Structure 1
């Protein structure tokens, strides 16, 4: 593993467990088994490292949306299902980074405000366009877009924000490979109730964890 990747992995682990403010550059260097100077060389310090980690997470997240949105032959419903499945798998494969990002975005900072005006505005555009097309084409019933997005985002984020509660109280395990597939079916089941017109496709059977 190269030095840059070791620093990134160490930072994600420490940011996730100790918080960004509670983590020092020396701790990151020690965990990564590299010289402190390497962090300055690659990232210009801890703030640059945070920006790199968050930006990379969002770049891939937006790429998932764009890929489904621009894929030929997909109906709005199919686009939405592809996005849900791929986001859940992406988050499952990057659990620590996902948990840290969703915690960090709840804070008010210059970085988060910049994210809101760039990446998350693009996210809104893709989802809003898909929902609008689905309503126009008769696949979706009319919904309040803000309410729909609050509910959808909550469902996509919850397993990774509350992984310990889900594991220790509910005995489901977001860390297991099967979880993303089974949970995706639950989200699809909710979409069938909340968004699809009754005449489209029967609601998927609920998965058992």
Structure 2
């Protein structure tokens, strides 16, 4: 993955940015990764059609690989339904409730002014489970991401896409063990 970040020939990351990115991944990914993996397994066992679609996607990639050959970053880019499952798991799980942010200038929202210098709490749960934004917001439905964010993973080259489409490439890297759960379920038990 680090090699991909550095080799990106279209003005991607500098070496310093890539190292900072990887360190953040290592530090930030401990509890959150194990929790999101557990919830992904839970949601998939409760939604067998999604599990079957995910397994089909992973099997098609595994068939092109040698028996002991590891997945490459190019392989991950060919997993659009996997990304949909990850996005939906992150949306429904909401184990991080939100973030505090400082107000940089006066902001008027629906007739109420939030003064510069105040702190506000941006609630992920309020947005991710809002019935006005997501039909059946409390239902695990990875197919919704094929409509909400139809940009193929292979075309997402910059973390800036996060702002555009809520799909940073790093999200697909964290749940990598999901591939092994899907392709080799008997090895886990």
Ranked by relative contact order (alpha carbons within 8 Å, sequence separation 6 or more), the top structure is 2
The verdict on a shared fold, with TM-score over 0.5 as the criterion, is no
Q: State the TM-score, normalizing by the size of structure 2.
A: 0.25
| Greater fraction helix | 1
Q: State the TM-score, normalizing by the size of structure 1.
A: 0.23
| Greater fraction strand | 2
